[in-house]
Amino acid sequence: MVIESTESNAALLDKLKIEAERALQERPSFSIRSRISLGFILWFILSLGITVASFIILTKIENKLHFMETASKYLFEVQQARRFEKNYFLYGTNLDDALEQVHLAQKILNIHGKKMAAVVGEQSFKAMVHHITLYANLLYRLQKLNTSPLKSSSSSLSQQIEDALRKHGAVMITTAENLIEKQRQSVNAMIYMSKRIPLFFLLFLLVLMIYLANFITQQILRPLKILMKATRRIADGDITPITPTRRYRDEFTELSLAMNHMMHQLALRQEQLIKAHKLKAVGTLTAGVAHELNNPINNIMLTASMLLEDYHDLEVEERLDMVNDLVEQAERSQKIIRNLLEFARDRDIITHLYQLEDLIEETLQLVSNQLKLSKVRVVRKFAANLPPVSGDKQQLTQVFLNLVLNAIDAMPNGGTLCIETVIVKEGDYLRVDFTDTGAGIPAHVQPHIFDPFFTTKSQGRGTGLGLSVSLEIIRKHGGDIRVCSQVDKGSTFSVLLPMAKVPAKILKTSHNSHH
């Protein structure tokens, strides 16, 4: 089974960035500033509405109070006219006084008629005017009848006028009293409502405050949390572009676009760092490869010289043996060059199924000369029947090579490098332990060893990119690197890779934890 990827990691991230930008920019724009401005406009409209309503209510109360005051004066004049009317029928006096009071009542209606009509309605006001007019006409008729020479012969007419006066007078007083009482009740109702408006306003203000708090949480704090989470995963090495989570495009969309651009640039820089570290590793290997090539080339030169000098004196079988030796030494040289070129070649990521021990052995072949020169003994503890892992051979070899070279640097006076492969039951992972007997790493330094450009080596010997790039490569394969170290006792770097038989699950545990 072979799994191949035709796109490089940078090309895939570039595609994801383009799709994320399109999704972020295609949404309708509704900025947070516009929403807040709209909220303040709605708040102003609401406050204006409450102010207008309060003004209207107060104006109505003022008009009703004015009506009640005017109607009370009107009622007083009508009542005075009725008293004079009774005096006239009882004692024959005060008829002129009654007419004067009626004139005053009519004057009140004429002066304040429009305002009174606006309060009680045109129909009710006309009824008041009608009754007071009839009442005044009856008094005029009674006055004429009283001054008539035929006064003694008109007793029956006088009785009719008296009955009509009593009837219309009672209706006038009742109408005025009813209207005043009705308006008094209306005023009380409006005052009652006016007292409740502030309470309703406070209740609405409380609801609005809850809504605004929720709005701020949803529109500001929630996107901030999403962006904070994105920054954390960026710090952990996950540079997947941010995708839209809300319906509208706002200021946070621009920030997300900027962060996506930043992550895209980080991805490009990471690819460049990997290439730079690879070139450094190739340079480190050059000396060892040159030494490795020197032996087979010397053998080729000696054998070819002997064959050239003694060709005619040698038997056919001896010649064939020397030719086979030349071919064997040439193949050995070719294999060394092929391994170096394979490691240094820049190509797309291609994943296959590999056995860990095969990858480790090929890596050890690349640094066999450094191991000999540094007097480092390698102890292999490979578990039997290990399942394969899926990965890119070049990148995995780069990681193993970097860890072996770091172990060699940690043991300048020689030592032992133990490479052990085990199965981690929790999570279906394979673990490769690179344990050296070097100087170890101080506890306060361990949290920083995977930071880019951090190195404990002397100036000119390290760039500080090896472990950072190695961790990035392993995490792309769904694994992790952990370290356990003690000063003067040595260090163990553990590389965890998912087995190929199950989907890889990215480890969320810290690469700095002990095992």
Q: Mind giving me the DSSP string for 489-506?
A: TEEEEEEEEEBTTS----
Position 510 scores a pLDDT of 36
Under a CB-based contact definition with an 8 Å cutoff, are residues 429 and 497 in contact?
Answer: yes
Asked if 329 contacts 300 with a C-beta cutoff of 8 angstroms, the reply is: yes
**What are the structural domain ranges in the chain?**
32-215, 268-498
Question: For residue 62, what pLDDT is reported?
Answer: 86
Q: 128: which 2 tokens?
A: 């008041």
Interval 222-236 mean pLDDT: 76
Q: What pLDDT is recorded for position 421?
A: 92
pLDDT for res 436: 93
pLDDT over 90 (residue 366): no
Nearest-CA neighbor of 339 among 317, 363, 321? 363
HSE-CB at 389 with a 13 A cutoff on CA atoms is 28
**Residue 390 vs residue 252, higher pLDDT:** 390
Residues 325-334 have pLDDT tens digits of 788 778 767 7
Confidence (pLDDT) at 435? 94
3-state secondary structure of 480: strand
Mean pLDDT for 202-225 is 78
Task: Compare 511 and 438 and report the one with higher pLDDT.
Answer: 438
Rounded to whole angstroms, how far apart are CA atoms 314 and 135? 164
Dihedral sign from CA coordinates of 160, 164, 165, 170: positive
Please provide the CATH number assigned to the domain covering 268-498. Answer: 3.30.565.10
Q: Is the pLDDT score of 202 beyond 90?
A: no
Question: Which residues lie closer than 8 Å to 408 by C-beta, 6 or more apart?
Answer: 367, 370, 371, 374, 376, 417
CB of 88 within 8 A of CB of 146? no
Percent of the chain past pLDDT 90, that is, above it, reads 8
What is the rounded average pLDDT of the residues 421-438? 87
Task: Tell me what the mean pLDDT of segment 400-414 comes to.
Answer: 89
In what helix (H) or strand (E) does residue 3 lie, and over which residues does it extend? none
- CA distances (Å), origin 183, targets 56, 68, 350, 403, 477: 16, 7, 92, 97, 86
The DSSP code sequence of 31-62 is -HHHHHHHHHHHHHHHHHHHHHHHHHHHHHHH
Helix (H) or strand (E) holding 221: none
* Token pair of 422 as six digits: 């085990």
Strand (E) or helix (H) holding 515? none
Give the confidence band of 380 by pLDDT, cuts at 50, 70, 90: very high
What's the rounded Cα separation, in Å, for the pair 300 and 303?
A: 5
Sign (positive or negative) of CA dihedral 441, 444, 450, 456: negative
Confidence of residue 456 (pLDDT cuts 50, 70, 90): low
Q: Predicted confidence band at 340 (pLDDT cuts at 50, 70, 90)?
A: low
Ranges 302-306, 404-408, 418-422: which has the least confidence:
302-306
Residue 246: alpha-carbon gap to chain centroid = 8
pLDDT at 335 over 80: no
**156 Cβ partners below 8 Å, 6+ apart?**
none
Across 74-83, 317-326, 348-357, which has the greatest mean pLDDT? 74-83
Q: Mean per-residue pLDDT for 184-193? A: 86
CA distances from residue 228 to 11, 208, 449 in whole angstroms, order as listed: 26, 28, 24
Q: What is the rounded distance in angstroms from the CA atom of residue 396 to the CA atom of residue 278? A: 12
Q: Answer for the pair 307, 361: CB distance below 8 angstroms, yes or no.
A: no
What is the per-residue pLDDT across 311-323, written as a single tens digit (0 to 9) for each? 777 787 877 877 8
Q: Which two tokens stand for residue 9?
A: 């990691």
pLDDT digits (tens, 9 = 90+) for 147-168: 766 555 556 777 788 888 888 8
- Angle at CA 196, nearest 5°, toward 195 and 198? 85
**Mean of the per-residue pLDDT values of the chain:** 77
Distance of CA 481 to the CA centre of its chain: 31
